[in-house]
Amino acid sequence: MPAKNIGIKGVEPPAKECNDPKCPWHGGVKVRGTILQGVVVSAKMHNTVVVRHDYVKYIRKFRRYERRHKHIHAHNPPCINAKEGDVVIIGETRPLSKTVSFVVLGIVKRSGER
C-alpha cells in the first residue's frame, strides 16, 4: 500500500511501507488538531516514543517569557521508526491508547549516533 496524502505540508512520506493500522501514511489514522516539533527522549516502548516539546510562555507580571517543556507520548509507526535523539514532527489524532493521542509524521533530523 503506497503512502497516502495526509494533507499536511512540510512532511515527506517515509521511504519504507508498513501495514500498521495506526500509521498516518499507511493505516487508518487521521491527523487533525495540533502539529508540534520535538525531540525523542525515549524509544523504549513498543511502537511508542516520548517526545519532549519545548515552548515559551509569556508571563505578564514580569513581561518576559519563561521556557517550558512537556513530554508527549506519540505513536511511532514501523515505517518511520524514530530513535532516541531524533527531531520529529508529531500530529494530534484520535486517542490511540490511554496516554497516546499523537503520532509521529516524520523525522526532521536524525540523531548523529547510529
By CB under 5 A, name the binding residues for Zn ion. 18, 23, 25-26, 77, 79
Contact 90, 102 (CB under 8 A): yes
> Smallest gap, in angstroms, from Cβ of residue 73 to Zn ion?
18
Contact 51, 35 (CB under 8 A): no
Q: Pairing state of beta strands 64-75 and 102-109?
A: parallel
> Smallest gap, in angstroms, from Cβ of residue 67 to Zn ion?
34
Give the nearer residue to Zn ion in terms of CB position, either 69 or 94: 94
> Smallest gap, in angstroms, from Cβ of residue 31 to Zn ion?
13
Per the structure block, which three cell numbers stand in for 58?
509569556
Per the structure block, which three cell numbers stand in for 83?
530513535
Give the nearer residue to Zn ion in terms of CB position, either 39 or 104: 104
